Amino acid sequence: MLQRKEVSGEKKPVTAIIVGAGHRSLLYASYALEHPEELKIVGVVEPDSVRREKTAKIYGIEEKYCFKSVEDLIKGPRIADTAINGTMDNIHIPTSIPLLEAGYHLLVEKPIGVSQDEVMQLLNTSRKTKTTVMVGHVLRYAPFYAEIYKRIASGEIGEILNIRTIENVSYHHMAVAYVRGKWNTKESGGSSILMAKCCHDLDIITWMKSGTRPLRVSSLGGLMYFRPEKAPEGSGKRCLVDCKIEKDCPYSAYKHYIEQEKFWAEYVWHSIEHLGNPTREQKLESLRKDNPHGRCVWHCDNSVVDHQSVIVEYEDGCIANHTLVTGTSKPCRIIHIVGTKGEIQGVLEDGFFVVRHPDPQSDAQIGLGYTEERVEAGVKNDGHGGGDFRLVKDFVSVIQGNTPSISTTRLEDSIYGHVIGFSADKAMEEKCVVEIENI
């Protein structure tokens, strides 16, 4: 662990370099703007000059600490305590390994790699270099899941028999990221949609089953809806060029990216970022011509599945199920855990969950033999049910040498969630059951 010097009885802020100035890393880094006494951004690694310069301006980074690549950064001495790696999935490991070898502690966005071999390489390097790696599994820090974990750990519902989780991905999120966007094929995004979107959920299951090894995984799924043959009559190849039903289509690029631009701006306008603040007409022209987000969702080159279910068997006999469903009206995450003494059920976005216990003497009007407690967890506006900034705060605290929180996402505690995901994709593709190695 990095030993930090104190000044006047107070610890210096942890220093960090942003690696990959994209949405997630900049969100984590923004913690420094609100808590400069805890975190200070001192460098940026970003090949795109526009993003590199914008980031440097926001954080007052000296030009000598602005780099085009990790290779350029590590040529010189270490300039910070840590690095926040928010690069694309398929270059997480190639950029993270040199950082660890150069002595940087690391906060890396999930999924941390695109294969089990990659993830194990990162773990082994971390152990060899005695560096700390924490993973962007922000849901562990959401008060909703943290309180559920406390209830499970206390034994309140006994031994877990079954865990069921569901992630409903909205139609507009599915369209922007996984049909039109960077993650619409495993080759372009580096990860399957299960790993890119549900890595959080598989980690939550793993966390709830801490200390219990998963034995085997099976999975079924496929690409059913976002296919050319499913295109409605009158649809075209581009929303604003040749589509006759654009005004009535829920997937209209005009509705999503012009009228409701604030939701997905960081995804859609990358190709015209060099214009500074593009005008409405420039954005429209982009959607008409070469912007991939102007394409019809039924006429894209996407190949990721639009629904998938995963079943995991644990060594103690517990069964866990996770289901990914896309194109839903309402995005939400659902969890239902059944134990030998009770159960916990809730929806993250509702901000509360219920705990039930068998009780033959309870009022029959509330459910024929059980008591029910409603637990208010609250939902914050800082992302992922309040988890984003709590993750960064815990990362800073760990680097300062403090005791990790119950939610800590250190690499050693996050491996099995990734392994389950990789195994599930293999099981789906090969139509088999995959045995999981003891790690």
Q: Are residues 103 and 239 in the same domain?
A: no
Please identify, among 294, 319, 340, the residue that sits at the C-terminal boundary of a domain. 294
Q: Are residues 312 and 189 in the same domain?
A: yes
Distance CA 250, CA 112 (A): 33
Tokens of residue 62, six digits:
């000296």
Tokens of residue 164, six digits:
């069921």
**What's the confidence (pLDDT) of residue 158?**
98
Over range 139-157, report the average pLDDT.
Answer: 96
Q: Are residues 114 and 178 in the same domain?
A: no
CATH code (residue 375): 3.30.360.10
Is 92 among the domain residues? yes
Q: Are residues 200 and 330 in the same domain?
A: yes
Q: What is the pLDDT of residues 194-212, one digit of tens each?
A: 999 999 999 999 999 998 9
**What's the confidence (pLDDT) of residue 10?**
64
Task: Report the DSSP pairing between strands 133-135 and 105-108.
Answer: parallel
Is 318 among the domain residues? yes
Q: What is the pLDDT of residues 119-145, one digit of tens each?
A: 999 999 999 999 999 999 999 999 999
Is 40 among the domain residues? yes
Q: Tell me what the pLDDT averaged over the chain comes to.
A: 92
Distance CA 56, CA 44 (A): 7
Over range 8-33, report the average pLDDT.
Answer: 89
DSSP 238: B
Tokens of residue 56, six digits:
């440097």
Number of folded domains that form the chain: 3
**What's the confidence (pLDDT) of residue 384?**
58
Is 281 among the domain residues? yes
Q: Are residues 390 and 307 in the same domain?
A: yes
Which residues 6+ apart lie within 8 Å of 152 measured at CB?
Answer: 160, 208, 337, 339, 344
Is 189 among the domain residues? yes
Is the pLDDT assigned to residue 382 strictly greater than 60? no
**What's the confidence (pLDDT) of residue 66?**
98
**What's the confidence (pLDDT) of residue 439?**
82
CATH code (residue 23): 3.40.50.720
Q: What is the pLDDT of residues 212-242, one digit of tens each?
A: 999 999 999 999 999 999 999 999 999 999 9
Please identify, among 131, 153, 175, the residue that sits at the C-terminal boundary of a domain. 131
Over range 244-270, report the average pLDDT.
Answer: 91
Is the pLDDT assigned to residue 108 strictly greater than 50? yes
Over range 30-37, report the average pLDDT.
Answer: 96
Q: Are 250 and 258 in contact (CB under 8 A)?
A: no
Expressed in angstroms, the distance from the first to the final Cα of the chain is 23
Q: Are 134 and 408 in contact (CB under 8 A)?
A: yes
Q: Are residues 243 and 314 in the same domain?
A: no
Over range 404-410, report the average pLDDT.
Answer: 93
Q: Are residues 319 and 186 in the same domain?
A: yes
Is the pLDDT assigned to residue 365 strictly greater than 60? no
Count CB-CB contacts under 10 A for residue 1. 12
Q: Are residues 121 and 67 in the same domain?
A: yes
**What's the confidence (pLDDT) of residue 380?**
52
**What's the confidence (pLDDT) of residue 378?**
74
Q: Are residues 334 and 427 in the same domain?
A: yes
Q: Between residues 81 and 2, which one has the greater pLDDT?
A: 81
Is the pLDDT assigned to residue 265 strictly greater than 50? yes
Buried b (16+ CB within 10 A) or exposed e, 37-52: ebbbbbbbbbebeebb
Q: Are residues 122 and 47 in the same domain?
A: yes
Q: Are residues 290 and 271 in the same domain?
A: yes
pTM of structure: 0.90
Cα–Cα–Cα angle for 10, 11, 15, rounded to 5 degrees: 145
Is the pLDDT assigned to residue 67 strictly greater than 50? yes
Q: How far is CA 399 from CA 325, 403, 414, in A?
A: 37, 10, 18
Is 272 among the domain residues? yes
**What's the confidence (pLDDT) of residue 385?**
61
Q: What is the pLDDT of residues 296-328, one digit of tens each?
A: 999 999 999 999 999 999 999 999 999 999 999
Q: 379 pLDDT band (50/70/90 cuts)? A: low
Residue 100's domain comprises: 6-131
Is 1 among the domain residues? no
Q: Are residues 418 and 404 in the same domain?
A: yes
Is 33 among the domain residues? yes
Say if residue 376 is exposed, middle or buried (CB neighbours under 10 Å; 0-12, 13-18, 19+): exposed
Please identify, among 272, 294, 316, the residue that sits at the C-terminal boundary of a domain. 294
Buried b (16+ CB within 10 A) or exposed e, 215-250: eebbbebebeebeeeebeeebbebbbeebeebeebe
Q: 364 pLDDT band (50/70/90 cuts)? A: low
Distance CA 130, CA 120 (A): 15
Which residues 6+ apart lie within 8 Å of 106 measured at CB?
Answer: 82, 83, 85, 96, 99, 100, 126, 131, 132, 133, 134
Which own/partner contact pairs does 377-381 have at CB distance under 8 Å and 24+ positions apart? Answer: 377/142, 377/143, 377/144, 377/147, 377/346, 377/351, 377/352, 377/353, 378/143, 378/144, 378/351, 379/142, 379/144, 379/348, 379/349, 379/350, 379/351, 380/143
